Amino acid sequence: MPTQLVSQSTPRSVQTVFGLCARLALPGTVLVALLAELALAERKFAIFGGGFGQSQTLDTAGEIAAFLIVLLVCQAAIFYGAFRLVRRLHGARADTPLFYFNFVFLGLLVWVGALVAKYQALAYFSDAMSFQIVRNLGGGSLLDALLFSMSEAGLIFLSAGGALLVYVLACRLLVRRWSSLPPAPDRTRRTARQLGLLILIAPLLLFSANRIDDTRSALARFNAIFLWSAPLQQITDFDRDGWSLFSHPIDLQPFDPARHPYALDIPGNGIDEDGFGGDLVFQEPPEIATPAIGGARPHVILIVLESARADAIGHRIDGRSITPVIDGLVARGSSAPAAYSHVGFTTFSLKSLFSGRLDPAPGAPSLVDDFLANRYEVGVFSAQAEDFGDIAAVTGMRRGRYFVDANTQREERAFSFAAEGSLYIDGRIVLREFREQLGDPAQWDTPHFLYFNFQSAHFPYFAPGTDRIVEDDPIPRGEISAANRAWLQRTYWNAIAYNDRLVGELIAELERLGVYENSLIVITADHGESLFDDGFLGHGHMLSAEQTQIPFILSAPDIPLGNPIGLADMRPIVLRAAGADIVPPTPQRVFQYLGTLDRPGKIGSVDAEGRWTVFDLNREAVRTGDGPWRRYAELANGSAERRSADRLIDRWASERWLGAIQRRERRAER
């Protein structure tokens, strides 16, 4: 049928609607896809509002404008390209209703599918089901068993099948009702010019936005930015060392593969591989040999309180201390005036505590080896999953006789989440397992080294089973925000008070067993916690007293404690307090880092007065105390600031080189 006749037989209102839909198909698809991804990113990462563990947020008009412009341009360019490709594939049916429907439907389906895969949106379903239904698989209902066995892949296939059915039905409707419509006007030249302009300006905008820290961090969450950045990084990585003009930081030596950001500085070769501090002069620290423990050989009880900041001990609410039990240990024993974690992550912190190193290799000597070599019984009683992040493997925790953690008690976890990093069991379950396995006084003729981990103060600071000591009405997770800071803090102090109560119950059990008087109690934490008191929530994204200063308490009096002390300094101190003939080091500063040791965002050191020197590797800037940030390249050679920065950089490079040596030695031993 000729096009002119078709046009005459089609109501003008239908043609008008189709023309409008055709004009809106491309921008509408871009907008819907963008809004969907923005909503998911905000929910998961709080890029605008901020939230737990989120230190970089879009909180200025300039940052938000740069973010939205770059994201919109990059996403529009990708969808423009897809639009032209789909149009070409339709051939004679280009610009028909079928073409526009296919582009919108399939484009959004692919984009949303990528988002589901990226954010693992279906993971919550299997987690929520498995907690109760697993108990019914042996003899429960068939329906429950089928629901439990339905994997995330099954749910994806069902969703895909439903989408396919909708697609087929919609296509049939289009062919039946709208096939007589004439094609929409072809704007090939105009669209080609628009696409060419977007392809030209998108890399320039992305390069500029990468210079704005918070904007770059937010953009990195989005698929369109990844699709642009990946090829641009490959194209501009001229020396093929993995760094380019679009990496962060930028490769300032783009044609020298031996020099790039975060390159391992090899000592003594005359080359400054990472571009900071000159060639490394490395002095290997002495190995901490396992010493003999003499004398009375006390039982050693090491207690780690998750996310417990130093000022939580002795904190007063309504005129009363929230930690009366621990206060008593402080009064009778020894307490470090200033102790710090090296990094705000549990996995790295526990490895440092046990090994005495910042970056120990699996199998490196640890407190477990020390006490086993001295014929101690070793046990682990932890409210978290100690296999998470290879903690148990690196520290040798499973070499002891007793091992209880959130994985072994998985069915009693407080929350339905089953991922290792989210497993949590109540502290009283830990104490129950301790009593069941070591509740007979006859078992204590041999000295014991026991590690306890209590998780009560972990975000969201309240879980089923937690006693309500300070706060009768703990803040719900959905209400946590800076506006509810006071309520949040009382919930956190309640968690600390509950931990103190658990410590008291543990001491009471040791007294019942008749072993408390011959026990050394050691209490510390993996890191601190910001509670919006410094503008942040969580840990691991600031070098500050709130996030890194921790308690370090020993029940024995007159234990020599340096100032400051890092987690890696505690191993020899504990051994000496237990009776070993060992002289702990006396560090002048505690080294810290954000991220991983190989690729930190910042490195820093804190002195006995609590004053930080911080080097921001992303900005290549240095700050001492409360002073201003200054570009490293602008520091005068020989100046006090330059010497301080170079000492910090050398410490970082030395720790990385030491870690590389130890990993190489462990591989050679295997």
For residue 460, what is the domain's CATH number?
A: 3.40.720.10
| Long-range contacts at 515-519 (CB < 8 A, ≥ 24 apart) | 515/299, 515/441, 515/444, 518/296, 518/298, 518/299, 519/298, 519/299, 519/300, 519/301, 519/555
Residue 261 domain-assigned? no
For all residues of the chain together, what is the average pLDDT?
83
The number of beta carbons lying within 10 Å of the beta carbon of residue 142 is 8
Percent of the chain scoring above 90 in pLDDT: 43
Percent of the chain scoring above 70 in pLDDT: 83
The number of beta carbons lying within 10 Å of the beta carbon of residue 160 is 12
Nearest-5° Cα angle at 449, 445 to 450: 110
54: pLDDT strictly greater than 60: no
Q: How far is CA 136 from the centre of its chain?
A: 34
- Tokens 């030491």 appear where? 658
Report residue 147's pLDDT band, with 50, 70 and 90 as the boundaries. very low
d(CA 226, CA 358): 32
Q: In what order do the strands lie in the sheet with 565-566?
A: 549-550, 339-340, 565-566
Residue 660 domain-assigned? no
Residue 670: its pLDDT value, please?
66
Residue 145: its pLDDT value, please?
41
Gyration radius of the chain's alpha carbons: 30
Same domain membership, residue 210 and residue 356: no
Q: Determine if residue 271 is left, alpha or beta; phi over 0 gives left, psi from -120 to 50 gives alpha, anything else beta.
A: beta
Same domain membership, residue 438 and residue 310: yes
Residue 257 domain-assigned? no
- Inter-residue contact 145 to 132 (CB < 8 Å): no
- Segment 480-507, tens digit of pLDDT: 888 899 999 999 999 999 999 999 999 9
Same domain membership, residue 533 and residue 397: yes
When pLDDT is averaged across residues 131-155 and rounded to a whole number, the result is 40
Report residue 41's pLDDT band, with 50, 70 and 90 as the boundaries. confident
pTM to 2 decimal places: 0.77
Residue 163: its pLDDT value, please?
61
Q: Which of 191, 221, 251 is a domain's end point?
A: 221
Report residue 664's pLDDT band, with 50, 70 and 90 as the boundaries. confident
Residue 135: its pLDDT value, please?
36
Same domain membership, residue 313 and residue 172: no
d(CA 364, CA 347): 15
Q: Which domain holds residue 142?
A: 3-221
Q: Determine if residue 160 is left, alpha or beta; phi over 0 gives left, psi from -120 to 50 gives alpha, anything else beta.
A: alpha
- Inter-residue contact 261 to 275 (CB < 8 Å): yes
When pLDDT is averaged across residues 191-207 and rounded to a whole number, the result is 79
The number of beta carbons lying within 10 Å of the beta carbon of residue 155 is 15
578: pLDDT strictly greater than 50: yes
Same domain membership, residue 195 and residue 93: yes
Q: Which of 176, 194, 221 is a domain's end point?
A: 221
Residue 137: its pLDDT value, please?
34
Residue 462 domain-assigned? yes
Report residue 413's pLDDT band, with 50, 70 and 90 as the boundaries. confident
The number of beta carbons lying within 10 Å of the beta carbon of residue 473 is 10
43: pLDDT strictly greater than 50: yes
d(CA 68, CA 599): 28
Q: Is the peptide bond before 564 cis (omega within 30 degrees of 0)?
A: yes
Same domain membership, residue 215 and residue 306: no
Beta bridge partners of 521: 301
d(CA 659, CA 666): 11
The better pLDDT of the pair 80, 572 is held by: 572
d(CA 61, CA 252): 30
Residue 339 domain-assigned? yes
When pLDDT is averaged across residues 630-640 and rounded to a whole number, the result is 88
Residue 602 domain-assigned? no
- Segment 291-320, tens digit of pLDDT: 999 888 999 999 999 999 999 999 999 899
Same domain membership, residue 492 and residue 365: yes
Kindly tell me the burial class for residue 348, based on how many C-beta atoms sit within 10 Å of its own C-beta (0-12, 13-18, 19 or more).
buried
Q: How many domains is the chain partitioned into structurally?
A: 2
The better pLDDT of the pair 451, 214 is held by: 451
When pLDDT is averaged across residues 102-125 and rounded to a whole number, the result is 68
As a dihedral over the C-alpha atoms of residue 428, residue 434, residue 439, residue 443, rounded to 10 degrees, the angle is -160
Same domain membership, residue 313 and residue 204: no
- Segment 335-346, tens digit of pLDDT: 999 999 999 889
- Tokens 């005068």 appear where? 636
- Inter-residue contact 371 to 300 (CB < 8 Å): yes
Residue 644 domain-assigned? no
The lowest-confidence range among 62-66, 321-325, 586-590, 591-595 is: 586-590
Q: Which of 168, 193, 221 is a domain's end point?
A: 221
- Segment 231-280, tens digit of pLDDT: 999 999 998 988 898 888 888 888 988 888 888 888 888 888 888 888 88
Exposure string for 435-446, b = 16+ CB within 10 A, e = fewer: eeebeeeeebee
The number of beta carbons lying within 10 Å of the beta carbon of residue 359 is 22
Residue 280: its pLDDT value, please?
87
Same domain membership, residue 540 and residue 402: yes
Same domain membership, residue 210 and residue 63: yes
Report residue 123's pLDDT band, with 50, 70 and 90 as the boundaries. very low
Same domain membership, residue 397 and residue 519: yes
The better pLDDT of the pair 140, 593 is held by: 593
Residue 609 domain-assigned? no
Start-to-end Cα distance in the chain:
79
Residue 2: its pLDDT value, please?
41
When pLDDT is averaged across residues 571-589 and rounded to a whole number, the result is 90
- Segment 167-192, tens digit of pLDDT: 666 666 655 555 555 666 665 555 66
Same domain membership, residue 478 and residue 355: yes
Residue 249: its pLDDT value, please?
80
